[in-house]
Structure 1
Amino acid sequence: MATVRGCHMVGSVPLADTETVFRTCISGMPNRLKRIPDGETGPRNYFVYFQSLLWPKAIQPEIELNVLPKARDFSEEEYVEGLRLLEATELKTGYDDAAIASYEVFRRLKKDGVLPRDMRFLVCMTTLGNVVGAYVERAFQPRAEKMYEAALFQALRNIQDRIPPGELAIQLDMSVEMLYWEGKWAEPWWSDRSYMVDYLSRMANQVDKDVEFGLHFCYGDMEHKHVAEPESLQGVADFANSILDKCGRPASFLHCPVALSAIDRLDDYFRPLETLVPRLRRDGTELYLGLVHAGDMECTRRMVEAASKVAPEFGVATECGWGRTPADHLESIMEISTAVSEPFPEYTSKETSGA
C-alpha cells in the first residue's frame, strides 16, 4: 500500500467567510494541510462565474449548465460594435483584491496560533480557457485573450507584491482547458493544442520562483456533474507533462480528479499515471488524488487501494472544490480525508501544529 499523506483543498468552500473556512478546515483535517485557500466565499463561490460580469453582454454567449456553447454568427456591424465595446472594457479580475484581503485574515490567525506557522496561503487562479472560452463569443476570443491574459498577469503581480513568497502558493485551475485537451468543449480560438500549452506555461512562469506553484486539473463540476466524464487519467498525464516540459519549472503540487464513474475500472483509470508519477517524484512534486467522496468511505478506500498500484506516495482531496457541495457534507469529507491519510510529520508536534 502506498504512503497516503496529507490533504489538499482545491479552492471553494460553502461557508460564510474566510475566517470560518480557515478555522473549520484546519480543525477538521488536523495536521494534514500544507496550504489552505480562503474558500472563495461570497461572489466567487461559483468558480469563475463572477468573471462573466467583466465582459459586455453583447459579446457573451448564452450559458446553459453542462451544455457546450454554440458560436453565433455576427453581422459586420454587430462585430464592429462588439469589438468597440470590448476595447473600451477595463478588465480587473478581482483575484488580487480578494487574495490580499484574505491574507490579512490568514496572517492574523497564524499570529494567534490557529494556523501552523509554516502553512502557506493558497491562491487559486483561473486560466484563459475557463473565462474566455466560456464567457466570450468565439468571434471575439482572439482579442479578449490578450486583454484577459494581461489582466491575470497584473493580478498575479499584485498578489506577489503584497504577500510574502514564503507564505504563498498559487494554483492554476484548468477545467475548460482539460476539456479542450480532450476535444470535449466547443471549438477554441486556436487550432493546435500547443497554443494552449504555451499560454499556460506563460502564466506558470509569472509565478515567482520562491512562490509555490501547483496545477489543478478538472472536468467541470456543474450541479455535481462533469461536463464530460473522464475515461482515464491519460489526458491529465499527457497534458501535465506537456505543460511542465514547456514551462521548464517543476510544480510544487498537482491535483487531478478521480471520478465516481470510474469505480468499476479503477486499474485502467489510474494506469496512465505511470507516465507522470516518475517525473513528479524526481521533481519533488506532491500528487493529490481527488478520490474523497462524501458519505462513501468504502468507495474512497477502493480508490486509494487502486491508486497505490501506480503511485507509491500521494495525498487526498475531493474531485473539485467544495463550493456547490451541501454544507452538511463537509463533515463527512473532512472525516474521510483524515481517516485515509497520515498527518504531515512536521505538523504533528504541539509546537508547530497551531492546534
Structure 2
Amino acid sequence: MSTDLLLVGSIPYDTVSDVFEKFGRPLASHLAALPDGEVGLRTHWISRIHFQVFALHPDLEVVRRPALENGIERLQPRNAGDSWQFRVRPGVEQIHFGDSGWRLGYARDAVNSYFVFRTLRERGELPNGLRFQVSIASPHSAAPPRLFPDAKDCAIVRAAYQEAVKAEVAMICAKIPHEDLAIQWDCATEVQDAYGAIPGYPKEGAIARNTGQIAALSPDIPAGVALGFHLCFGTLGGWPRFAPDDLSATVELANGFIEAAGRKVDWMHIPALDNINEAFYAPLANLKPKGARIYLGMVHHMDTFEQRLKLARKFLPEFGLAAYCGLGRTPQSGLGDILNEHLQALEIAG
C-alpha cells in the first residue's frame, strides 16, 4: 500500500459506512491504514471517555460538567473552561475500571467497525492490504491536569486508565487479525507538557514524564500489528489550542516515544501550523524516526500549502501528508472540501 497520506482519526459522518465510502474509498490507494471516523459519541475524542467512563465510576466525583444548552444536558465541552472536571473521592488510593477489555469502548467499537471494513474489502470497495486503524487516547491525554487539578488524583486515574487500555488493546488484537490491524496512540497533553505549557508541570523532565506510559503499553502490541502516533496541538475551543513557535519540543517528544515504544513504530504524525517561518520547521532535521514513516499535518490553508511544503522539505526531504488533527469538530458540510484538499495536496506534493 502507498503511504502518501494518513487520516488521523475522526471524520464526522453519521455512520462508519459513510466514512469508508465517502472519505476512505477516494483516498484508499494513498493510505496504509483507514480509521472508522470515530463516529457518534466518539466525535469529540476524549470527551466520550469523560462522560461514559469517568463520570460513571463510583470512586470519582464530578466537579464540573459542560454547561446546559437551552436547559438540556451537553456532553461535549465548548472549550477548555467548559470541560468536565473530576476528583477522586477522599480516602481512595487506587481505582480500577470493571468489565476488563470492554469498559472504555475502544474494543467494542473496533470490532463492530472492522466487520464493516472487512465486508467492504471483500466486495472490492476497499483494496486488499489496507489496514483497519484504531486510534486510542493515551493515558496522559485522556486524564489531563485540567480535568484532575489535584496531581495525586491525576496519577491515580491515569494508572487506572492505562490498565484498562492495556486490556482493550489485548481484546482488539484478539478479535482482529494482526495483518489487518493498526493501532495509533493519540497524544495532545504530552505536546503541551513538552513545551512547559501546563501550569505546575515544569518543562524540565517533560519528555521522561510522558514516555513511561508508552513504554508500558506499546511492547504488548504484537509485531504483526502496525503502530503509529498522532501528536496534536489540540482543537478544543478552536484550532490550534496551543501554538508553539517551532517544532523543537514536538520533535524531541517524537524521538522519545519512538525510543520508548520497545518495538517497531510504523508512523509518527507531527502537526504543522500555518507558519511560513523557516525556523518553525528547522527542528525536523533532528528527527530520529528509526524507520517510522513521518507524516506532517499540513493539509490546511491551501493558499500557503506549497510554501510550507518547500520549507519543511529543506529539513525533512521525505514525508507523508495529513491534516493537523482529526476532523471531529469540523462541520459535516465541510468534509467534501477537506477531502478535495487532501487530493490537491497530493497533486502539489508530486
Superposed CA offset, 1:247-303 (max 9, x none): 33331011111112x23x1x1111101010xx32xx33211111111xx42212221
Matching residue of 2:71: none
Matching residue of 2:293: 286
- C-alpha spacing 1:148/1:188, structure 2 compared with 1 (3 Å): farther
Q: What secondary structure, in the 3-state scheme, does the structure 2 residue paired with 1:171 have?
A: strand
Query: By how many angstroms is 1:70 displaced?
Result: 12
Q: What secondary structure, in the 3-state scheme, does the structure 2 residue paired with 1:79 have?
A: coil
Alignment of 1:194-213 (within 5 A): 194-213=208-227
8 Å contact 1:223–1:324 — kept in the other structure?
A: no
Distance 2:27 2:86 in 1: 47
Q: Which has the higher contact order (CA 8 A, sep 6+)?
A: 1
- Aligned mate of 2:185, from 154, 169, 172: 172
Query: By how many angstroms is 1:188 displaced?
Result: 5.7
Distance 1:187 1:69 in 2: 19
Matching residue of 1:147: 160
- Choose between structure 1 and 2: higher helix proportion: 1
Q: What secondary structure, in the 3-state scheme, does the structure 2 residue paired with 1:124 have?
A: strand
Distance 1:5 1:147 in 2: 35
Alignment of 1:292-307 (within 5 A): 292-293=299-300, 296-307=301-312
Query: By how many angstroms is 1:241 displaced?
Result: 1.1
Q: TM-score, normalised by structure 2?
A: 0.84
Q: What secondary structure, in the 3-state scheme, does the structure 2 residue paired with 1:313 have?
A: coil
Superposed CA offset, 1:308-344 (max 9, x none): 111221111110001111223222222221122269x
Matching residue of 2:11: 13
- Aligned mate of 2:148, from 132, 136, 141: 136
Where in structure 1 are there 5+ consecutive unaligned residues?
344-355
Give the paired residue count: 326
Deviation larger for 321-330 or 21-30: 21-30
Name the amino acid aligned to 1:327.
Answer: Q
Query: By how many angstroms is 1:71 displaced?
Result: 9.4
Query: By how many angstroms is 1:128 displaced?
Result: 0.9
Matching residue of 1:225: 239
Q: TM-score, normalised by structure 1?
A: 0.83
Distance 1:121 1:342 in 2: 25
Name the amino acid aligned to 2:113.
Answer: S
8 Å contact 1:315–1:341 — kept in the other structure?
A: no
Query: By how many angstroms is 1:42 displaced?
Result: 0.5
Q: What secondary structure, in the 3-state scheme, does the structure 2 residue paired with 1:220 have?
A: coil
Aligned-residue identity in percent: 25
- C-alpha spacing 1:338/1:72, structure 2 compared with 1 (3 Å): closer
8 Å contact 2:62–2:85 — kept in the other structure?
A: no
